[in-house]
Structure 1
Amino acid sequence: MSVRFLSSLFEPASVAVVGASNKPDTLGYLAMRNLLAAGFAGPIMPVTKDAQAIAGVLAYPDPESLPVAPDLALLCAPPATLPQTVLSLGQKGAKVCVVMSDMGEGTSRHERHMFEERLLACARESRMRLLGPGSLGVQTPGIGLNASVFTRPALEGKVAFVSQSGALCTSVLDWARGHGIGFSHFVSLGNKTDIDYGDVIDYLSSNVDVRAILLHIEGLTDTRKFMSAGRSAARNKPVIVIKTGRGMEEVRQAVSHTGTLAGSDAIYDIAFQRAGMLRVYSLEELFSAVETLAHIRRPTRGPRLAVVTNGRGLGVMAVDSLVTQGGTLARLEPETKEALARVLPGGTLLSANPVDLGGAASPEVYSKVMEVLFKAREVDAVLVVYAPYALSAPLEIAREVIDVAKRHRSASLFTCWVGHDQVEEARAQFTEAEIPTFPTPDDAIQGFMHLVTYRKNQHMLMETPRSCSQEFEPDLDKAREIIDEAIAQGNLTMSEPEAKGVFEAYGIPVVETAIARTPQEAAEVARTMEGPYALKIVSRAITHKSDVGGVVLDLQTPEDVEKAAGEMAERVHSTYPEAALEGFTVQHMARRAGSHELIVGATADPIFGPVLLFGEGGTAVEIIRDQAVALAPLNMALARDMLERTRVFRLLEGYRDHKAVNIDAICLTLIQLSQMLIDIPEIVEMEINPLFAGSDGVLAVDARMRLDPGRTRGPHRLAIRPYPSQLESTEVMRDGRTVMVRPIRPEDEAAYYDFVAALTPEDARFRFFGQVKAMPHDQMARLTQIDYAREMAFVAELIQDDGQPCILGSVQALTDPDNETTEFAVVVRSDLKGSGLGRLLMLKIIRYCKERRTRYMDGQVLRDNRRMLRFCESLGFRKVGLIDEDTVELRLDLSAFAPEDFADTQTLVRAADEACLRT
């Protein structure tokens, strides 16, 4: 991921147009016309050999002749000339090229790929950036930049729009202008050879002129970059995405229900949710969501809505829409109803929500009613639906509503003034006051539901997961032995006992299963088990055994097993004569009263990597289609969210005389599967169906697994980088105590609160640059819930006598998207100064950042924190300037450290101590 030179793309000081032309309807003509018409203040330099001037502007024959190096170059020349043009621009000192030319429809995919690779190689020679090929350009209306070939310019606004489809960009521009919607930035990515979604999201997320980011996505390539950038941006501002191509998923070969059910659009859906984004499904909904999210001051507290209206019909319409869209109508408490009765004309006692004020209600009545509802604990948001009556005053009522909202800035308010001419000015007042306003009740409810969904996604982004109810230590050696043996024998579709062996190695309870080659052997195996018995065929050619009568249950005796096996073999041979029957599995018939049949599994998605599935199981799983998917890795909170997104979850919670099942056991099973996918990349598909789940736990009854020995290893396979357990180490402090130094985890939040509470006020001020009384959850979540792909934090942990972990120190490094610099922060518990722990932590983070090839480590230290300044200088940091009169900026050149310097940590600690003492 990189934002290098993206400021030159969106805010260039100068622009060159290579292939500029005076011929209408050419790329070079449109690019020059738009640049000149937009009023860009910097030099605009056409490059062409066909004319002395373009649109009255002096032209240059080639890039070498340009008087200054352009920040931004628009390439409109024939594709065959572009590689040399890119080389020439790079040598001239250009920063970014927007490649508008494309190879055309007649070229093959291979030819396009080779062309793009050549362009990229030429750009990389001079570290120049490329947008495209096939990009229609960028617009930054705030600085008068229209470096595009769009037929219409964008209006100025506070919303950024990013798309890879040029045709959609054109449609959005036309639609937005007609609705008076403006943009801060507007960009067509084209083929994303270099600059892609992740890069642009990173740039826009830190831009103060951008209030919200809108994305149109057809497909993704670098999902790790996209997810990292999206999660980072979504913590700061709304990111709203529309994904097209939902009906074009490729049908893949699958050996399990899981492989069939985990459709790619469902995976995109959960990926957007995991990144804290809001997904919408139409252009109207896209901008409706912006109306809500960009204007609302804070996410609603919850899903409970109160509706205020001056017409019962409109109120009922709003409630119907709310129920249809899955919303929750607030149940007004008796005290709220009494308070409303006191302010309504005639002291009317309300019986329900919506609150009908009648057509003649005055502005003062609206004000008093809203005051009551804003204070009601059972109400999370308020929607005011108004239709003009003969004696009503739409503008005056709107102004009163705005005044009340100003007094309750933390409240979530939505408005719907129905009509046109009579309410147009009132709507304009709401827009000016940044209160979401909509033309119909349906639109208003959709806007409210956008906020509810967005709040849920943000909550998931910040939620602190519980630790597993029981820790599990997988027997990775045993699992790898089974996997390697299957691959060596060519058994890429593993037998049921083989698959169960892998699941058992990861701590998942399985039914004892044995293989018999003949009906006679099946009877012998049954005699070693307790009956009754379940018998199944073993054939890698048959995916669903029950479809061919390959499953027989409740066999009472070994003789019954032998007879059933013989009949089963005859059925299979007559139905599928080409299918090789390898034998039978025999197992004790698992009976669990009150248990539910579930399905859990995983598949390797070609875009996002390992994806997990949970739902209602059994033979009718594809008919019921009650499933949820999630990206690996999982924790307890994410696993439970999977369960809650299915219909069967309500049954799992218990009903009537049915006990609730052990939810934690199901969640742990999903986490175990998630870890299995991380550890063993050869697994491309696996499934347990059914998984019996009851109050006493879970039991895997049937299992299957498919392997691909060509799968590459490493965490880059996952869209979200998992917890890097390989970075854990044990260190010894000066007092002889051994501590675990490991990456921080979201589950550390509670222990981190205790750690911060143990700091003296002075140490807390030195670390957090201010007095810390009570750190809110969202701020603590940012410290403990990190993205391991772009930042790292290590904690030193000591297990206390009561078995509870205690955090003694922490060090964090946040790296910029270009991996040029990382900013560190370190703190140890106040009573451990002089223990050497601070140096152990600093050396750990320095080594980590050096191995990532980060160039510099920066830090900001308060000037009166002299101990920290001496400490940093002893480690090689140098003062590079003052941030302000109170803060010193330090820098460490990581390239000056050799790997051998870290061979003996204790030697470095002693050397740093001596340097510090000399200072």
Structure 2
Amino acid sequence: MSTYRLQSLFAPKSVALAGASQRDLSLGRIVLRNIRSGGFKGKLQLVNPRYAEIDGVPSVGGLDKLDGVPDVLVITAPPAEVPGLVAEAGARGIAAAVVITSGLGHGPGSLAEATAQAARPHGLRLLGPNCLGLLVPSISLNASFATRMPKVGDLALISQSGAIAASLVEWASSRSIGFSTVASMGDAVDVDFGDLLDYFALDRKTRAILMYVESITDVRKFMSAARSAARVKPVIVVKSGRHAQAAQAAATHTGALAGADAVYDAAFRRAGLLRVLDLDELFAAAETLGHLSPFDGKRLAILTNGGGIGVLAVDRLIDFGGTLATLSEKRVAELDAVLTSGWSHSNPVDIGGDAGAARYRAALEQLIADRDNDAVLVMNCPTALASPAESAAAVVEVIQRERARSMMRKPVLTVWVGDRGEATRIFDEAGIPHYDSETEAIRGFMHLVRFREANESLMETPPSVPTQFVSDTEAARGVVARAIKDGQTWLDPIQIETLLTAYGIPIAPSHLARNGFEAAWAARPYLAKGQAVVLKILSPDIVHKSEIDGVRLNVLSEEAVRRETEDLLARARKAMPQARLIGVTVHPMIVRPKARELIVGATDDSVFGPVIVFGRGGMAVEVLNDKALALPPLDMKLARDLIDRTGAAPLLGAYRNVPPGDRQALELMLVKVSQLLADIPEVREIDLNPVLADDSGVIAVDARVTVAPVAAGTRSRFAVRPYPKEWESHLASWEDLRVFLRPVRPEDEHLYLEFFKHVSENDLRLRFFAPVKEFSHTFIARMTQIDYARAMVFVAVDERTGEMLGGVRIHSDANYEKGEYAVLVRSDLKGRGLGWILMQRMIEYAKAEGIAEVEGQVLRDNTTMLRMCTDLGFRIEHDNDDPGLCKVVLDLTAKGPVASAAE
């Protein structure tokens, strides 16, 4: 349901409390006291049949006796009463309830399930149960059992843990950090992370979002909402349980490498979220985000009166991946003019232990004006030679003066070591972030840097696949389908070779032999060329061949092949008498002395579904534990980033007499594995280990693949919705052109740049409601970098020239009930039916996705679009707020087919 009715929850005008009590220290008494002491200006009513009034506030016996319908019902009643209260509240039309009561249990048959079921028919939204409650400082609402009301600010806090939320509120209050909202989810039987991310992403009172996560259930919803929120504001997350161990040993190296927390980390990275490791770091992030906006660059200038702490700050800056700004000769000369001769003449700018307010003022003015740095960290060590408080006041004076006379808001962070409260008060009153140590300050600085980098990554246009590969998907599906029909869990090497070859994934050839004579026959072509062979035992019951000594390397003659094959079979029968022995597989011995041994794989996470794993491979892969994970689908850029996050990346470069490994071939292999998983959801694990990579390319020497059935109709199990290839189609004939109608791809930026050259200024005005003079990378990236889970763009491409002829976009709301569309065709093609085709495809897609209504805004003078909308069945509504606009609305729940644009 997403943001449906959440406005009533987070901005209520009236509140009712069910379970208010006169008993000291009872939950109902504490929540009532907090609501009243918080100063909530709206209407407050109490529900408790035992009392006529509580603390001077009248109380009624039931919800049916309330005066009017409150926006929110807060419940602190005993667990057994909660489902009934929720059902009654829904029937009365109450929009939302905050269930603070704990002890409702979990799962089928529990009171928690009964509560959720009671709310659902009425569309009543539930926060909780078993939660701290809700705090909205801007309306002075403290409907919680927290010890105090936080200050008004622009940070939204979402927490699964009530204790963590309460601790953060307490900490923030002592640091003058305020919140727009504090939402404790508790057991989250309804309102969850996805709902809250969607809401706060669009909340004008919220500039950044902090999250405490224990687990995620609806991962597709979470990933879609998180990616959408991270595009517009910082989202910082801390997750507990980083070192939880898997309950069972993994069957493959890939599975062993993909621990649960590593998958969460990959998910947060893919969504553009900033992950911190503990509450201390989250507090540092809150301190920074509470006072500073994200900025460009990562060059830091450091101003200090102590050389030692300045060097420590530099160390931490380098540790965390920041860059120390460089002072130009001109800037050194200007600092020389205002400082004493003993200053450091470099960054950190050490102005001496006797530096007072005047010296801090003069140096900071120069550093704020310096365009060779992106932010300034000011530090002070207490000495008897100068007043730390006066120096703090001087820093505030400079910052406030610069803010008043310039639009430039260069971030300034502060550390006053050993401060007794005077500097803290000065910085708090000015809204300047301050920290207890240089480490906390550098972390805070890097949080902002990482947010900008994550946001840029979400907006980057990845390169297209350099060598267009065409997969034989049907052949691959056939192999998997037959294996599942035969009851196989593991594919045999012959099946694996067929599967991987269908996707152009290089693998050493395999030949099945049931005895020594067949093995010698299979090996003969390789031996004749002087190439050795490898023999591997083949049994569906023996996964790890090395555990029974089931592999023979570097076999050089037919006689040796026969002998080693019979020996392998005999050893296998003795070691595992119950195993079903099929024979052996014969492979050419791949010898690449300068190749790097890597692992490329995919595993099936119980929460996030398919996960891609890459790292250093070979026999010691789990001992090395040098790996990185990513959620598919992958493009070439994501594949490159995945490689770069491992120790294998530098090894792929040239060194001594070793030429560089073929990075592009490795990236392409990762993309192909990702595509295979997208096309064939029955493939559950892939383990290519080792993959040999050198200057001649990449090849998998050994491979394991597991398969399992999926539910009927399953298109994809990805947490991030992949490119929807099923919506590609060819138009049989349009204006004697062969037109390819397909979803937009991230690499389509160049198509848009050329396309806009063929659109007139007036047509651009009609589409964007304003003149468009420049098409920046960010502008176009928002059209091509879409989340297919909630947005779709179809482009029409001339197959002869590859040029884009037109496009249509639909973006659903967070509730997935309405979609807003926009369409544009080349000006020289107007009036020839392409716009009609694009609109039909958009409507067809919206219906398939279950969107109930499509709407759009059209300028009143865009008569062509208004006429087409009328012909398509849209109703035209006038915009009362803007007489120059019309709103067009199409009800998709009405019966009647929509003509298809596809053949």
The TM-score with structure 1 as length reference comes to: 0.92
Query: Separation in 2 of the partners of 1:735 and 1:109?
Result: 59
**Structure 1 partner of 2:134:** 138
Seen in structure 2, the aligned counterparts of structure 1 residues 523 and 331 have a Cα distance that, compared at 3 Å, is: farther
Letter paired with 1:277: L
Query: How far off is 1:739 after superposition?
Result: 1.4
Q: CA deviation at 1:428?
A: 5.0
When residues 294 and 656 of structure 1 are mapped into structure 2, their CA distance, relative to the original with a 3 A threshold, is farther
CA contact (8 A) 1:828 1:837 kept: yes
User: Quick one: distance in 2 between partners of 1:336 and 1:419?
Assistant: 31
Segments of structure 1 that go 5 or more residues without pairing to the other structure are 907-919
Q: Point out the more displaced range, 541-550 or 682-691.
A: 541-550
Give the equivalent residue in structure 1 for 2:68: 68
Q: TM-score, normalised by structure 2?
A: 0.93
**Which residue is equivalent to 1:384?**
378
Shift of 1:268: 0.8
Report Cα offsets for 1:277-333 as digits up to 9, x if no partner. 11112222112112223433333324x434333321121111222233344434666
Aligned residue for 1:320?
Answer: 315
Match of 2:449 among 452, 456, 462: 452
* Counterpart selection for 1:177 from 169, 173, 176: 173
Partner of 1:656: 656
In the alignment, which of 386, 393, 396 is matched to residue 394 of structure 2?
396
User: One-letter code of the match for 1:482?
Assistant: V
Structure 1 residue runs of 4+, over 6 Å off?
333-336, 362-365, 374-378
User: 1:488 and 1:734, CA in 2 relative to 1: closer, same or farther beyond 3 A?
Assistant: closer
Equivalent in the alignment of 1:913? none
Q: 1:701 to 1:148 in 2, by over 3 A?
A: same
Counterpart in 2 of 1:891?
888
User: Per the alignment, do residues 180 and 736 of structure 1 end up closer, same or farther by CA in structure 2, a change over 3 Å counting?
Assistant: same
- Corresponding letter in the other structure for 1:874: D
* Mapped contact 1:846–1:894 kept (Cα < 8 A): no
Name the residue aligned to 1:414: 413
Q: Give the equivalent residue in structure 1 for 2:234.
A: 238
Deviates more, 1:627-636 or 1:142-151: 142-151
How well do the aligned residues superpose, as a CA RMSD in angstroms?
A: 2.7
Task: Tell me the CA shift for residue 410 of structure 1.
Answer: 5.9
1:507 equivalent to 2:504? Answer yes
Is structure 2 residue 857 aligned with structure 1 residue 860? yes
Q: Give the Cα separation in 1 of the matches to 2:268 and 2:23.
A: 44
Equivalent-residue separation in structure 1 for 2:230 and 2:683 (angstroms): 32
CA distance in 2, matches of 1:792, 1:269: 27
> SS at 1:720's partner residue?
coil
Q: How does 1:683-722 map to 2 (within 5 A)?
A: 683-710=683-710, 714-715=714-715, 717-722=717-722
Give the whole-Å Cα distance in 2 for the aligned partners of 1:152 and 1:604: 44
Match of 1:844 in 2: 841
Aligned position for 2:259: 263
Identity among equivalent pairs (%): 42
Name whichever of 650-659 and 396-405 sits farther off: 396-405
Partner letter of residue 834 of structure 1?
G
Residue 833 (1) aligns with residue 830 (2): yes
Amino acid at match of 2:419: H
**C-alpha separation in 1, matches of 2:542 and 2:753:** 55
Following the alignment from structure 1 to structure 2, what is the Cα–Cα distance between the partners of residues 143 and 5?
Answer: 18
Matched residue SS, 2:877? strand
After superposition, the Cα gap between the structure-2 partners of 1:697 and 1:333, relative to the gap in structure 1 and judged at 3 Å, is farther
The equivalent of 1:914 in structure 2 is: none
Q: Please give the residue correspondences for 1:82-481 in structure 2 after superposition, counting only pairs within 5 Å.
A: 82-103=82-103, 109-112=107-110, 115-302=111-298, 304-330=299-325, 345-346=340-341, 350=345, 353-360=347-354, 379-389=373-383, 390-391=385-386, 394=391, 395-400=393-398, 403=401, 407=406, 409=408, 411-421=410-420, 424-425=422-423, 430-431=427-428, 434-481=431-478
Deviation (angstroms), 1:561: 1.9
- Relative distance call for 1:66 and 1:108 in structure 2 (3 A) is closer
Aligned to 1:18: 18
Question: Deviations 1:596-616 (Å, cap 9, x if unpaired)?
Answer: 111000011111111000011
Letter in 2 for 1:243: K
Note closer, same or farther for the CA distance 1:570–1:134 as it changes in structure 2 (3 Å cut).
same
Asked if structure 1 preserves the Cα contact closer than 8 Å seen for 2:678 and 2:716, the reply is: no
Deviations 1:432-481 (A, max 9, x none): 55544323211111112222322332222111100001112211111111
- Name the CA shift for 1:864/1:894 in 2 (closer, same or farther; >3 Å): same
* Distance across 2 between alignment mates of 1:223 and 1:710: 18
C-alpha change, 1:213 and 1:366, in structure 2 (3 Å) is same
Distance of aligned partners of 1:811 and 1:429 in 2 relative to their CA distance in 1, 3 Å threshold: farther
CA drift at 1:839: 1.2
Q: Distance in 1 between matches of 2:868 and 2:100?
A: 53
Does the 8 Å CA contact 1:733/1:836 hold for their aligned counterparts?
no
Once the two structures are superposed, the pairs formed by residues 753-792 of structure 1 within 5 Å of their partners are 753-792=753-792
Letter of the aligned partner of 2:865 in structure 1?
Answer: M
Tell me, in whole angstroms, the C-alpha distance in 1 between the residues paired with 2:358 and 2:18. Answer: 64
Cα 1:699–1:168, aligned 2, differ >3 Å: closer, same or farther?
A: same
How far did 1:226 drift?
0.9
Confirm or deny: 8 A CA contact 2:155 2:206 kept in the other structure: yes
Q: Once structures 1 and 2 are overlaid, which stretch shifts more, 461-470 or 56-65?
A: 56-65
The Cα shift of 1:698 comes to 1.3
C-alpha separation between the residues in 2 aligned to 1:895 and 1:814?
Answer: 15
The aligned residue for residue 555 of structure 1 is 555
Using the TM superposition, give the Cα deviation of residue 21 of structure 1 relative to its aligned residue in structure 2, in angstroms.
2.3
Q: Is the 8 A contact 2:599 2:618 kept in 1?
A: yes
Task: Report the CA distance between 1:845 and its aligned residue.
Answer: 1.0
CA–CA distance in structure 1, aligned partners of residues 154 and 415 of structure 2: 23
Note the alpha carbon deviations across 1:837-877, whole angstroms, 9 max, x for none. Answer: 11111111122212323222222222333333333333333
Shift of 1:667: 1.1
Asked if the contact 2:294–2:449 (Cα under 8 Å) also holds between the matched residues in 1, the reply is no
8 Å CA contact 1:338–1:349 kept in 2: the answer is no
Structure 2 distance, partners of 1:661, 1:883, is 63
Partner of 1:915: none
Shift of 1:377: 7.2
- Is the alpha carbon distance of 1:375 and 1:57 closer, same or farther for their aligned partners in structure 2, counting shifts above 3 Å? closer
| Residue type of the alignment partner of 2:190 | D
Correspondence for 2:487: 490
1:38 partnered with 2:41: no
Contact map agreement 1:596 1:692 (CA 8 A) in 2: yes
Rounded to whole Å, the distance in 2 between the matches of 1:717 and 1:563 is 46
Q: Distance in 1 between matches of 2:167 and 2:378?
A: 33
Contact 2:160 2:212 in 1 (8 A): yes
- Number of residue pairs aligned between Structure 1 and Structure 2: 895
Q: Does the aligned pair in 2 maintain the 1:632–1:674 contact within 8 Å?
A: yes
